[in-house]
C-alpha cells in the first residue's frame, strides 16, 4: 500500500510582522498561527525566564483579538499584562523578544514607550477597566468610533477597582473580556454553551430582545419587572452573568477560550454592535499546550530559565536563604509562642513566604485576594479586637492601600504590623514592582514606627520587636533576594525602639545606612580606609523615630556624614537632614550628603546594575564621601572615578 505523505505546512508566524498581516487569515490558518505562537512563547521564556503559564493560556485569545479588531487604532488593554508575551511577538517585537526582562530589553509588562500596540502600561492588577473607561470617554468626546477592549483575569476581579469602573460604564460602548482560568470554577464550556454564547451575542437575538423590551416598557410595572427578571435570570442561570447584568453589562458566555471558531465569531458579533457595554466570559487553561506547565500546581506562573523538552527549571546556586524565607521562619517562631499572631497576604502567599506560615497555621492565615485596601482595614479590625496582625504585602502593592494605612490604622493608633517585602529595586520585574516610596509615605504618618533590616539577622529581630510592640502601628522593610549569609539568632533580642547601632568606628567619614545597603557601606568603608580616610559605619535601623543621639554623635565627630537608603528622595536622608537643620547642627561646617534612589523610574536589569544606575553601590558611596571632602583626590574606586 502506498504511503500517504502529509503536506508540509508553511510557517505563518514568520509572515506576521504586525497584526494587519493576520487579518485575512482563515480559521485554519489562525489555528496554525496559534500553535506556532505557543511554541515560540515557550522557547522564548525558556531562555529569558518570566511569566509563562498566563501567556500560554491566552494564545488563542490574543490571535483572535488581533484578527478581529483594528489594533492599534482599536485600543487593547491587558490587565496586569504579565500574559502579553504572545501579544508582543505579534506586534512587531519578535526580533527583540529574547531581550525580555533584561537590561535595555523589552519589559515583562505592557509599556507605552515600547509600542503603539501598548496603549496603557500595567503591572498592578485591576486597572484595565478604569483605563478603558477613560479611553471610551476620550473617544466619545472626540466623536470617534474606535473599539476599546479590556482583558482582565478572574484573579484581578478580586480587586474592588474593577467593579468601581464597571459601575460607571453605564451604556458606553466598551468590551470587557473576563479571562477565567480559575481551575476551581467549572462553568459549562461545551458546544451547547458556546453555541448559546454566539447566539446571544448576535444581532438577531439582540433585535428580538430589544423588541421584547420595548413591549415590556408599556406593561404595568409588576409585569415589566417580572419579564425583565425572567429573561435575565434565565440567561444568568445558564451563563453566570447576573452580577454583570446588574452592573449594566450585557453578558456573553462562557465560551471556550481555546476554540478559535467560537472566539472569532463572538468577537465579530460584539465588534459590529453599536451599543454596550459587553462582558465576554472566556474560559482558558493556564499553561495550555505545554505539558510540564499544565501538570505543575502553579501552571508555571513565573519561571526561571528551563529545559523546553523536560520543563526542568534552572536551579539557583546554593546560598543564603532569601529575606522572604527568613521573615516567614521568624514569624512562624513568634506565632508558636503567641496565638494572637495572624498573617495577612493579598494574593501573594508564595511571594511573601506566607505559604510556609499557612502550612503551620492555616486558621491564622488570611489571603484577601488582590484587595490591598481591604487587607489593611481587615488587619485594623483584627488589631482593634486584640489580635496581632502582620499585614505582609510587597512595598509596591501596599501603595494601593495607603489611604487605609492612614485613616484606618495610623489615625486610630492601631497596632498593625506591616511587613514590606521587595523594598528597593527588584531586578527583572522593573519599576512597576520596585519598593521605592514606602520610607517616605510610612514615615510621614504620626505614630508610625518605620524600620529597615540591614541583614537577615536584623530582620528576625524586627519581626520579634514588632510582635512585642502594642503601642501603635509598626512597619519594617526588607529586600528581594538572598541575605548576606550571616548567622541568624534562634532567640532574637528585641530592639529598643528608635535606636540604631555602630558597627564600625572611624573618625573622618560616617556612613549611616538605613536598610540593606549596609553590606555595600562596609565595602565603601574598605575603599575609603585604603585611601587613608578613617570611616565609621552605622546601621540606623529606624527612620522613625530617628536615633537622634546617634546622628548627633556622627555629625559631631566626623567631617562628612553620608546617609544611604534604598528608597526615593524624601525618606530617611530627608528626615535626618531636617533633624540636623532644626537642631542647628549644620552650622558647624558638617558636610552631609543623602544617597537615595534617583528621581527617575529605573528600568529592569540585574539588581547590581540597577544599583549602579542608582549610584548606591560601594564605589559610588565612597566617591560621594571623597567629593564631599573636596580634597581634589582623583582615584579609581571599583571602576568609579572619584
Kindly report, residue by residue over 421-435, the tens digit of the pLDDT: 999 999 999 999 999
Q: Is the pLDDT of residue 303 over 90?
A: no
Residues 590 and 472 reside in one and the same domain = no
Which residue's C-alpha cell is 479590625?
A: 381
Tell me whether residue 173 is one of the annotated catalytic residues. Answer: no
Question: Does 130 map to a domain?
Answer: yes
> What is the SS3 string spanning 402-437?
HHHHHHHHHCCCCCCEEEEECEECCHHHHHHHCECC
Confidence (pLDDT) at 239: 46
Domain-located, residue 582? yes
Burial-class residue 214 by CB neighbours within 10 Å (0-12, 13-18, 19+): exposed
- Give yes or no for a cis peptide into 72 (omega within 30° of 0): yes
Has residue 7 got a pLDDT over 70? no
pLDDT recorded at residue 588 = 81
Cα 10 to Cα 589: distance, rounded to the nearest angstrom? 75
Are 117 and 80 in a shared domain? Answer: yes
Do residues 441 and 556 share a domain?
no
**Number of helices and strands (H, E) in the chain?**
25, 21
pLDDT in tens, 497-540: 999 999 999 999 999 999 999 999 999 999 999 999 999 999 99
DSSP 511: E
- Give the CATH number, domain containing residue 593: 3.40.50.920
Peptide bond into 443 cis (omega under 30): no
HEC sequence for 338-357: CCCEEEEECCCHHHHCHHHH
* pLDDT at residue 276, as a whole number: 83
Among 442, 477, 512, which residue terminates a domain? 477
**Rg over CA atoms, the chain:** 28
d(Cα 264, Cα 37) in Å, to the nearest integer?
Answer: 17
| pLDDT higher than threshold 60 for residue 566 | yes
Lowest mean pLDDT across 27-31, 182-186, 377-381: 182-186
Do 377 and 417 have their domain in common?
yes
Per-residue model confidence (pLDDT) at position 211 = 55
Catalytic choice (29, 36, 60, 372):
372
**Residues 288, 382: one domain?**
no
Residue 412 has pLDDT above 70, yes or no: yes
Which grid coordinates belong to 303?
519561571
Instruction: Clarify whether residues 141 and 259 are in a common domain.
Output: yes
566 has catalytic annotation = no
CB 313 within 8 Å of CB 341? no
- CA angle, residues 455, 457, 462, in degrees to nearest 5: 95
Measure the CA–CA gap between 129 and 162, rounded to whole angstroms: 6
C-alpha cell at 194: 458556546
Cell of 635: 582615584
Phi then psi dihedrals of residue 253, to 5 deg: 135, -170
Rounded to an integer, what distance in angstroms lies between the CA atom of residue 57 and that of residue 252? 20
Domain containing 622 equals: 501-641
Residue 392, Cβ neighbours under 10 Å: how many? Answer: 29
CATH of the domain at 413: 3.40.50.970
**Does residue 267 share a domain with residue 175?**
yes
191 pLDDT more than 90: no
- 362 and 419 part of one domain: yes
| C-beta separation of 349 from 393 below 8 A | no
Question: To 10 degrees, the CA torsion angle through 58, 62, 68, 71?
Answer: 140
**Residue 268 preceded by cis peptide, ω within 30:** no
Residue among 132, 40, 150 at smallest CA distance from 95: 40
Does residue 38 sit within a domain? yes
Q: For residues 613 and 603, what is the distance between their CA atoms, to the nearest angstrom?
A: 10
DSSP type of residue 247: T
CA distance 448 to 458: 19
Among residues 38, 111, 286, 461, the one annotated as catalytic is 286
Same domain, residue pair 151 and 275: yes
Instruction: Tally the domains of the chain.
Output: 3
Q: How far apart are CA 538 and CA 533, in angstroms?
A: 16
Q: Are 42 and 85 in contact (CB under 8 A)?
A: no
Give the span between the Cα atoms of 425 and 598, in whole angstroms: 12
Domain assignment of residue 152, yes or no: yes
The fraction of the chain above a pLDDT of 70, given in percent, is 87
Residue 384 neighbours by CB distance under 10 Å: 15
Give the distance from CA 161 to its chain's centroid. Answer: 15
| Whole-number Å distance between alpha carbons of 559 and 275 | 71
**Peptide bond between residue 176 and the one before it cis (omega within 30 degrees of 0):** no
Domain assignment present for residue 145? The answer is yes
In a domain, 530, yes or no: yes
Residue range 407-413: mean pLDDT, rounded: 97
pLDDT classification of 198: cutoffs 50, 70, 90: low
Residues 473 and 507 in one domain: no
Residue 315 in domain:
no
| Count of CB atoms situated within 10 Å of the CB of 613 | 16
**Strand (E) or helix (H) holding 607:** helix 607-614
SS3 label, residue 9: coil
**Same domain as 506, residue 431:** no
The catalytic position among 139, 400, 544, 623 is 400
Please check the confidence at residue 185 and state whether its pLDDT lies above 50: no
C-alpha–C-alpha distance, residues 176 and 150, integer Å:
5
The phi-psi region of residue 541 (left if phi > 0; otherwise alpha if psi is between -120 and 50; otherwise beta) is left
- On the question of pLDDT at 186 being above 50, the answer is no
State mean pLDDT over 277-287: 92
* Residue-wise pLDDT tens digits, 93-150: 999 999 999 999 999 999 999 999 999 998 899 999 999 999 999 999 999 999 999 9
Q: Following DSSP, what letter does each residue of 465-505 receive, concatenated?
A: HHHH--SS-EEEE--SSB-------SSPPPPPTT--EEEE-
Distance CA(269)–CA(68), nearest Å, equals: 10
b/e map 516-555, b = 16+ CB within 10 Å = bbbbbbbbbbebbbebebebbbbbbbbbbebbeebbeebb
Domain annotation covers residue 484: no
Indicate the average pLDDT of the chain: 89
Q: Is 116 a catalytic residue?
A: no
Look-up of cell digits 539557583: 316
Residues 274 and 344 placed together within one structural domain of the fold: no
Amino acid at each position: 500500500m502506498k504511503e500517504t505523505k502529509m503536506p508540509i505546512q508553511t510557517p505563518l508566524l514568520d509572515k506576521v510582522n504586525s497584526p494587519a498581516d493576520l487579518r485575512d487569515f482563515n480559521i485554519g490558518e489562525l489555528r496554525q498561527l496559534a500553535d506556532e505562537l505557543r511554541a515560540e512563547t515557550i522557547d522564548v521564556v525558556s531562555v529569558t525566564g518570566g511569566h509563562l503559564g498566563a501567556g500560554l493560556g491566552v494564545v488563542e485569545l490574543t490571535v483572535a483579538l488581533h484578527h478581529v479588531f483594528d489594533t492599534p487604532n482599536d485600543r487593547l488593554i491587558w490587565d496586569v499584562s504579565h500574559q502579553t508575551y504572545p501579544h508582543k511577538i505579534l506586534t512587531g517585537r519578535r526580533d527583540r523578544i529574547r531581550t525580555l526582562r533584561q537590561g535595555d530589553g523589552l519589559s515583562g509588562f505592557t509599556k507605552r514607550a515600547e509600542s503603539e500596540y501598548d496603549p496603557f502600561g500595567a503591572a498592578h492588577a485591576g486597572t484595565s477597566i478604569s483605563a478603558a473607561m477613560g479611553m471610551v470617554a476620550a473617544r466619545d468626546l472626540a466623536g470617534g468610533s474606535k473599539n476599546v477592549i479590556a482583558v482582565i483575569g478572574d484573579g484581578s476581579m478580586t480587586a474592588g477597582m474593577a467593579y468601581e469602573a464597571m459601575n460607571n460604564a453605564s451604556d458606553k460602548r466598551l468590551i470587557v473580556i473576563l479571562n477565567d482560568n480559575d481551575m476551581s470554577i467549572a462553568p459549562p464550556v461545551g458546544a451547547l454553551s458556546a453555541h448559546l454564547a454566539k447566539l446571544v451575542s448576535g444581532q438577531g437575538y439582540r433585535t428580538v430582545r430589544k423588541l421584547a423590551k420595548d413591549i415590556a416598557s408599556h406593561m404595568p410595572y409588576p409585569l415589566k419587572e417580572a419579564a425583565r427578571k425572567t429573561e435575565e435570570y434565565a440567561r444568568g442561570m445558564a451563563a453566570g452573568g447576573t452580577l454583570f447584568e446588574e452592573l449594566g453589562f450585557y453578558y456573553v458566555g462562557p465560551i471556550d477560550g481555546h476554540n478559535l471558531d467560537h472566539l472569532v465569531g463572538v468577537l465579530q458579533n460584539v465588534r459590529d454592535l453599536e451599543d454596550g457595554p459587553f462582558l465576554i466570559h472566556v474560559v482558558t487553561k493556564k499553561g495550555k499546550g505545554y505539558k510540564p506547565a499544565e501538570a505543575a500546581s502553579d501552571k508555571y506562573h513565573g519561571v526561571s530559565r528551563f529545559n523546553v523538552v523536560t520543563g526542568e527549571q534552572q536551579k539557583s546556586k546554593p546560598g543564603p536563604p532569601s529575606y522572604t524565607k527568613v521573615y516567614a521562619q521568624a514569624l512562624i517562631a513568634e506565632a508558636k509562642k503567641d496565638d494572637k499572631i495572624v498573617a495577612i497576604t493579598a494574593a501573594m502567599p508564595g511571594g511573601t513566604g506566607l505559604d510556609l506560615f499557612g502550612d503551620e497555621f492555616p486558621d491564622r492565615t488570611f489571603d484577601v485576594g488582590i484587595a490591598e485596601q481591604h487587607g489593611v482595614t481587615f488587619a485594623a479590625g483584627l488589631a482593634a479586637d486584640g489580635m496581632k496582625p502582620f499585614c505582609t504585602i510587597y512595598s509596591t502593592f501596599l501603595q494601593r492601600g495607603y489611604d487605609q494605612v492612614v485613616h484606618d490604622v495610623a489615625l486610630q493608633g492601631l497596632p498593625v504590623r506591616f511587613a514590606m517585602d521587595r523594598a528597593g529595586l527588584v531586578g527583572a520585574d522593573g519599576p512597576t514592582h520596585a519598593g521605592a516610596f514606602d520610607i517616605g509615605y510610612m514615615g510621614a504618618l504620626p505614630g508610625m514606627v518605620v524600620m529597615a533590616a540591614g541583614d537577615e539577622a536584623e530582620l528576625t529581630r524586627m519581626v520579634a520587636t514588632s510582635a512585642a510592640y502594642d503601642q501603635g502601628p509598626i512597619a519594617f522593610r526588607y529586600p528581594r533576594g538572598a541575605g548576606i549569609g550571616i548567622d541568624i539568632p534562634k532567640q532574637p533580642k528585641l530592639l529598643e525602639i528608635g535606636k540604631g547601632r555602630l558597627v564600625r568606628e572611624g573618625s573622618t567619614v560616617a556612613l549611616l545606612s538605613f536598610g540593606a545597603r549596609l553590606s555595600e557601606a562596609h565595602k565603601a568603608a574598605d575603599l575609603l580606609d585604603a585611601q587613608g580616610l578613617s570611616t565609621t559605619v552605622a546601621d540606623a535601623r529606624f527612620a522613625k523615630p530617628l536615633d537622634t543621639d546617634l546622628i548627633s554623635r556622627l555629625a559631631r565627630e566626623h567631617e562628612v556624614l553620608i546617609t544611604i537608603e534604598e528608597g526615593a528622595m524624601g525618606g530617611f536622608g530627608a528626615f535626618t537632614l531636617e533633624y540636623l537643620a532644626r537642631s542647628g547642627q549644620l552650622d558647624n561646617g558638617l558636610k552631609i550628603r543623602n544617597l537615595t534612589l534617583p528621581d527617575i523610574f529605573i528600568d529592569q536589569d540585574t539588581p547590581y546594575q540597577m544599583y549602579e544606575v542608582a549610584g548606591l553601590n560601594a564605589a559610588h558611596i565612597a566617591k560621594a564621601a571623597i567629593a564631599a571632602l573636596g580634597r581634589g583626590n582623583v582615584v579609581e574606586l571599583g571602576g568609579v572615578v572619584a
